[in-house]
Structure 1
Amino acid sequence: MKSNRNLSRAEGRRLGNVALIAFMLGSLLLLSLVRAKFSPIGKTGDAIKAEEQQAMAKDSGEMATAHEAAAAEEEEDETRSKPTDSSSGSGGIGSTAIVAGDDHAERASKLVCYESSRRSDTCEAAGDVRVVGRAQTVLVSPLDREWKVKPYCRKNDAFALSHVKEWTLRPAGSEDAPRCTVNSSATAFVLSTGGFTGNLFHDYTDVLIPAFITARRYGGDVQLLVSSYKPWWTTKYLQVLQQLSRHEVVDSDADAEVRCYPRVVVGPTFHRELGVDASLSPSSGGVSMPEFRAMLRDAFGLERAAAAPSGDRWDIRRRPRLLIISRRTSRLLLNERAMADMATSLGFDVRTGDPEVSTDVARFARLVNSADVMVGVHGDGLTNMVFLPAGAVLVQVVPYGGLEWLARGTFREPAEGMEVHYLEYVVQKDETTLSEEYGEDDPVIRDPAAIHRQGWDTLKAVYLDKQNGVQPAQNVVESGDNKNAAARFRGSFVQEQRTVRDSVNCSS
């Protein structure tokens, strides 16, 4: 049986602390009011649209370096690579990649398979290209060797690749090449919806953004040949895929045709988690994350390019909208209702959303695009930040367990490329259900680093899957330490208000 002290602490956690919630949401409100004038990245809708139209006028490029956010200590500077050499053997692709900025036309005149990043392999060919989708085979003439590739951007993850079909590119002479049954002047682009698709984060970072990086340079004259085909997934994102290609999307696994093209690309190019790096293709000007987000707005009919207030920005009748991303399983916000009530009292128009796999993407995208602030616990639901207008605010609640590195790579760093402000709250040990399940002396609570050393599977099982609830509010019920902490939070809140007010006065 738990002691009365433990029951009191649990009750305190459920009640939460108004001071911290007020600090976080009050700061958001103040930031929302002044961002149009003082934000370093917030821009007017007209300015953003002008930049995007200019970016769309440029060709896109495809060469990349990558950044692996799944390793806490990994350095982010990647090497730009060189073409693979035939000594890598016929069974796969070598460990080096093609140099960014090399002439694309020269590469396309012959087959080149290369490591386009540490996360992706890509093959390109031009000539007599015949695709036999049901056999996962591309026949190319002329070609002097065989290549194999899995067209999915997680090349070092054996589990993910076990769900991705391998494609073979091999030589084909005119005498043994199968007869073309469908001819096209477009470029064929082979990609896979195997791997981790079905998780919103992986849908974008492993497939949709790499597909955009790879296909955009063809201006729609590219045909998507989808391997490891999932009909529900293709239907879910059909509006996005139609922005990349004006041709029919082909289920290559079930395709009995011999499709002939002048060019083929097998495997998309990865840049970074939830991001695009325009500097990786300087010869063509590159593609950009704002351009990707503009494409999403076109796909789903989203109205807001920027979170600029309508009318008089100091009009107190205007209520900025705050969206809380709900979760149904692990990492729930136990005090979600209290947070919503507090935000409402501070002047927000509060909405909640639960982006399930079956959720209508266009409808949920419109809800997110209407928000000025989006709040949620670390998880794939935060991927909906791709629909936030520029200058909006994302608040990531980081679960207990030393997961700041994971939060940084998945959402904090991508926020800058999306022109979204980022705030973070890290859950403390007395704000998580783990403290009740394991006890304060267990290594799970006392020494998260020890759990990390046991590997990703253990870390994920404990801190992501078993953390059934978090309550981002300081417990102020028993100790003097907690009361002092609350006073510090209140002091920080007052100081934040004073700083913002001073900024307004100095700039007026």
Structure 2
Amino acid sequence: MSLPEITNPEPQEWKTRVRTSKHLNRLGFVTIKSLRGPSEAPPCTVRHDVPAVVFELSVLTGNIWHDFNNVIIRLYLTSRRFNGEVQFLITNLKPWFVKKYSVILKKLSRYEIIDFDRNKEIHCYPRALIGFGGIAIFGILPNLPPKGYTMLDFRLFIREAYSLPKDVPLSYRDKPEKKPRLMLINRGETRRLLNIKEVAKSAEELGFEVVVVEPKRDLNVTKIAKAVDSFDALMGVHGAGLTNMIFLRTNAAMIQVVPTGNWSHRREVLRLAREGNEIARCRVHD
């Protein structure tokens, strides 16, 4: 990839990692080289009128938490400003990721994704952004570039991408006979609720319509988004499954069960709970 419009009397070459949220030795490098002028650039075989975003689908993907925290939120921050007029070049491309999150990727870019490692063409772009900037854990810092975006903006973008109903705040004042719905997430092997039946029964006695689900990695994201949107509350033990709170409506509740004892993530989880969660204006409990 070359940028012919750049001129530099003293050409330089350096390498940068196309990173996600952490600096890992296993992440690959992309070589960036400055030129004295257009004549030093290899001839373009494909010219583009839109900017490019180059990023990697690294080892930090595989469950919905890492997918959103390490890639999707960061890609949204990097590319949303272009309103679809941007092209993605992905190194270490994972076809399953592109397929699973095709709805989001197509909402962010109107152009075909290019496999950075396999494509042999010389693509020329007017501008290229390499990698993602840092953000808070599963959050956005509005004061950092690009300024102005918030997690509320991101949540509304996700609702639009998956064609979820208009985000009208939940209210039962006009329908006192209707029971609020609770999605109770039960993890597969670790951090399970051993008394899941008793928990569900207690919630039903409190007036909830309870549905117990066991999220799988191969679940269709569109289906799970529409399912979560139909619930008033989401409850489960701390884990990737609670990332689905991104699909809750305004005024919905997310109830997080935090294990006790000497647990490495407990301090961070409690910090997030104290600060509140702007993502869906949820009430978070431990």
Q: Same fold (TM over 0.5)?
A: yes
2:114 counterpart letter in structure 1: V
Q: When you count helix as a share of all residues, which structure comes out higher?
A: 1
The residue aligned with 2:6 is: 141
The residue aligned with 1:168 is: 31
Distance 1:186 1:409 in 2: 40
Unaligned runs of 5+ in 1: 1-129, 132-137, 425-508
Corresponding position: 1:153 with 2:20: yes
The residue aligned with 1:386 is: 246
Pair 204,413 (structure 1): closer, same or farther in 2 beyond 3 Å: farther
Could you list the per-position Cα deviations for residues 55-93 of structure 1 after superposition, in whole angstroms to 9, with x for gaps in the alignment?
Answer: xxxxxxxxxxxxxxxxxxxxxxxxxxxxxxxxxxxxxxx
Pair 358,139 (structure 1): closer, same or farther in 2 beyond 3 Å: farther
Could you list the per-position Cα deviations for residues 121-173 of structure 1 after superposition, in whole angstroms to 9, with x for gaps in the alignment?
Answer: xxxxxxxxx35xxxxxx8883243223211223344x3xx41x2211101245
> Higher RCO, 1 or 2 (CA under 8 Å, sep at least 6)?
1
8 Å contact from structure 1 (residues 274, 414) kept in 2: no
Residue of 273, 276, 279 corresponding to 2:140 = 276
The residue aligned with 1:299 is: 161
1:218 counterpart letter in structure 2: F
Q: Cα offset for 1:262? A: 0.5
The residue aligned with 1:375 is: 235
Q: Cα offset for 1:316? A: 2.8
Distance 2:201 2:124 in 1: 60
Distance 1:329 1:140 in 2: 55
Q: Highest CA radius of gyration, 1 or 2? A: 1
Q: Cα offset for 1:280? A: 2.2
Q: Cα offset for 1:293? A: 0.8
| Superposed counterparts of 1:161-310, under 5 Å | 161-162=25-26, 164-172=27-35, 173-281=37-145, 286-303=148-165, 305-309=167-171
8 Å contact from structure 1 (residues 139, 169) kept in 2: no
Q: Secondary structure at the match of 2:216?
A: coil
Q: Cα offset for 1:304? A: 5.0
Residue of 316, 326, 329 corresponding to 2:176 = 316
2:6 counterpart letter in structure 1: S
Distance 1:201 1:275 in 2: 12
Distance 2:274 2:218 in 1: 26
The residue aligned with 1:352 is: 212
8 Å contact from structure 1 (residues 223, 249) kept in 2: yes
Aligned length: 281
8 Å contact from structure 1 (residues 365, 384) kept in 2: yes
4+ residue runs of structure 1 moved beyond 6 angstroms? none
8 Å contact from structure 2 (residues 182, 209) kept in 1: yes
Q: Cα offset for 1:237? A: 0.6
8 Å contact from structure 1 (residues 220, 245) kept in 2: yes
Pair 190,225 (structure 1): closer, same or farther in 2 beyond 3 Å: same
1:178 counterpart letter in structure 2: P
Distance 1:247 1:411 in 2: 39
Pair 304,408 (structure 1): closer, same or farther in 2 beyond 3 Å: farther
Report % sequence identity: 34
| Superposed counterparts of 1:443-462, under 5 Å | none
